[in-house]
Amino acid sequence: MQLYSFFNSSTSYRVRIALALKGLEVDYHGVNLRAGEQRQPQHRELSPIGGVPVLVRDDGLSLTQSLAIIDYLDALYPQAPLLPAEPLARARVLEAAQLIACDIHPLNNVRVLGYLQQVLEVAPEEKDRWYAHWVAEGLTALEVLLQRHGQGPYCFGDKPTVADCCLVPQVANAERLGCDLQAYPQVMAVYQHCLAQPAFQLAAPGRQPDFIQ
């Protein structure tokens, strides 16, 4: 399999974590989002939306969207399952994962921030306020979910799930952009625990072939 990724893309980071947790190796292809490589026709052939990640099978079929890719990998390689079998436990994991993937990330991804600044001509400090606001909205809700239903040291117990695959990249981005994260002790405890695990370290942005300082 091949993975089209960008080292600093949180959605790509999710898939890299899932691959590492399952012990799967892929051929890595860096797509430089900063240089606009995702908008090139050859990449649009793989991803109609022009994004990453893209997982390409050995037969050439491509699959986009991080949660769809992780679900596919979980079905194909059930070792180290990332989605519980029990219905309520599965729903809780997806509830947390989708809170991050659907309520936080879409408002703060590269395309949205670029549109705010380049088209709407929002000042950089206003763009930063936008980012911090939606991070706070989402992580406040995630903190409540984890306080109510999480058991630790991961989001939901002693094994990582797709919720952890989503949490780590989101918190890493929030840290990188200077968000105040003190109000989320459970979120941060999960984050720190994950960062200490070899699979999460292997998937980290700084360990990728296309890493740029």
Checking if the pLDDT of 156 tops 80, the result is yes
Q: Kindly tell me the sign of the dihedral angle through the C-alpha atoms of 146, 183, 179, 172.
A: negative
C-beta of residue 173 within 8 angstroms of C-beta of residue 133: no
Two structure tokens written together for 28 = 């890595």
Domain ranges of the chain: 2-80, 87-199
What is the C-alpha separation between 202 and 213, in angstroms, rounded?
A: 17
What integer pLDDT is reported at residue 210 of this predicted model? 95
pTM of the model: 0.96
Segment 59-81, tens digit of pLDDT: 999 999 999 999 999 999 999 99
Segment 92-135, tens digit of pLDDT: 999 999 999 999 999 998 889 999 999 999 999 999 999 999 99
CATH architecture for segment(s) 2-80: 3-Layer(aba) Sandwich (3.40)
Beta strands across the sheet bearing 54-56: 27-30, 2-5, 54-56, 62-64
Domains 2-80 and 87-199 share a fold: no
CATH architecture for segment(s) 87-199: Up-down Bundle (1.20)
